[in-house]
A = this chain, B = another copy of it.
Amino acid sequence: MSDITGKQSLRFSEAPYIISSAAIVGKKEGEGPLGDYFDMVGEDDLFGCESWEEAESTLQKQAATLALGKADLKPQDLRYIFAGDLLGQTIATSFGLMDFNVPLFGLYGACSTAGESMSLGAMCVAAGYADKVLTVTSSHFASAEKQFRFPLEYGNQRPMSATWTVTGSGAYVVSSQKSHVRISGITTGRIVDYGIHDALNMGAAMAPAACDTIAAHFADFGDPMDSYDRIITGDLGYVGQRILIDLLKEKGMDISTIHSDCGIEIFDKDTQDTDAGGSGCGCSAVTLSAYFLPKLISGEWKKVLFLPTGALLSTVSFNEGKNVPGIAHAILLEHEA
């Protein structure tokens, strides 16, 4: 029995399910168009902590705790955690999840980590290695600005192509136990370098990777595009969305009518001054959980391709003149009656 499908995909013969999820966000995200959908919205972005990094760890801890609670599970019911974040040495994860005392695989896929963690979690459950695993990702506007751009106190100006890192954490319990949302398969991304040099234009850096993974997905699975209700990218924003749609048109694929981007959904650019849209590991993780997953659970949507996108850079690589390559990991989600 092999689940191998085409060059980059797996179609699970024993597909796992998302049995619960949670999304916790910061104040600004709570004020955005999806504000009412999130499980919890912080009063301020320190979440009672003394540093932005500690606040991000707390976000992960709370999202994980809530996802467990919704499924009526305890940490000891989990066999593995798959988790990551954007910070150097993924410290939000290490310090946020250590008290759960569960075997942990630390991941780094930049903002694609929500897709990477769910892919590996699903593979693990589908293989019979675990009955229940938890996948967790997070980002925090202030810790990310400090990590990648400038300390907030500088008050630097931002170009219109810049995205706004989402403060939030999404956690998912993936299990062999049935629910209304099945992870039917995955398409794992390759690193794609399109020669983008601008670290304030992540959308452009990630769109070619999203294009590559979407094209691979359709080649591997062979289902017609009109069988998909939605193709949802992580955080391309307005700039990246245009590029993705154009790149896929060159391949003869038109996703313009069924494409959504979590980074576009989460903020109102006209009133929230978020430029090209939201970004960060947390962006796709919280938006899927709070806004898109309910549509799959209810059956309003039957089939969705969810692909978080990541820009692979650090301040060191950027300052040494390196390009910003991208990667995107796709998850095929289907409604089950």
Residues of chain A at the chain B interface (Cβ within 8 Å): 1-4, 8, 10, 50-51, 53-54, 79-80, 84, 86-91, 94-95, 97-98, 101-110, 116, 119-120, 123-124, 126-130, 147, 188-193, 312-317, 320, 322, 325, 327
Contact = CB atoms under 8 A, between A and B. Distances in A.
B104 A106 contact: no
A120 B106 CA distance: 11
Given A53-B320, A127-B127, A128-B1, A104 B314 contact: no
B106 A107 contact: yes
A193 B120 contact: no
A282 B51 CA distance: 32
Nearest to A103: B188
B193 A103 contact: no
Contacts of A97: 191
A191 B93 CA distance: 10
29 contacts: A4-B130, A53-B320, A80-B188, A86-B89, A88-B89, A88-B314, A88-B315, A88-B316, A89-B108, A89-B110, A89-B314, A89-B317, A91-B313, A91-B316, A94-B325, A95-B317, A95-B322, A95-B325, A98-B192, A101-B190, A104-B188, A105-B109, A105-B116, A105-B119, A106-B116, A106-B312, A106-B327, A107-B108, A123-B129
Contacts of A91: 312-314, 316-317, 322
A109 B82 CA distance: 11
Nearest to A128: B2
Contact of A193 (B54, B98, B130, B316): B98
A190 B126 CA distance: 22
Given A91-B316, A97-B191, 13 more contacts: A1-B128, A3-B128, A53-B316, A84-B108, A88-B147, A89-B312, A94-B191, A101-B191, A103-B188, A105-B116, A105-B119, A106-B116, A106-B312
Nearest to A92: B317
A104 B10 contact: no
A8 to B, nearest CB: 5
A50 B322 CA distance: 12
B320 A98 contact: no
A80 B186 CA distance: 13
Contacts of A123: 123-124, 127, 129
Given A87-B314, A320-B54, A327 B189 contact: no
B128 A4 contact: yes
A51 B108 contact: no
Contacts of A116: 105-106
